[in-house]
Amino acid sequence: MSLAPETPNFANGLFLTSANLGTMIGATVGGLFIAESDTSYIICIGFPSLLLSVVFILLRNYKYSPKTNQLDS
């Protein structure tokens, strides 16, 4: 929404598309890993995926956090 405030429907469509692509890629990688190995090793792909997602969320929050200077009243 911050990149295209005049076109909220387009921005929402891009967000939904990227969320669906992320879900598809994650399911594909996880499925391939399970198909090539065993379900007992699922933690080997799940834990690194979790860490990677937390890193990207923290980077996004740091990059797009509002920089406001509030004066004490």
Q: Which residue has the higher pLDDT, 68 or 13?
A: 13
Domain range annotation of the chain: 8-63
User: 9: number of CA atoms within 13 Å, CB side?
Assistant: 0
Q: Tell me the per-residue pLDDT of 19-55, one tens digit each, with 9 for 90 and over.
A: 999 899 988 988 888 888 877 777 877 888 899 999 9
Checking if the pLDDT of 1 tops 60, the result is no
Residue 45 near residue 30 (C-beta atoms within 8 A) = yes
Taking the complete model, does pTM exceed 0.75, yes or no? Answer: no
Written as six digits, the tokens of 37 are: 């190995």
Q: What pLDDT was estimated at residue 54?
A: 95
Residue 72 near residue 10 (C-beta atoms within 8 A) = no
- How confident is residue 2, by pLDDT bands cut at 50, 70 and 90? low
Q: Where are the alpha helices (DSSP H) in 1-73?
A: 8-36, 43-63
How many angstroms separate the Cα of 51 from the Cα of each of 2, 33, 68? 26, 17, 29
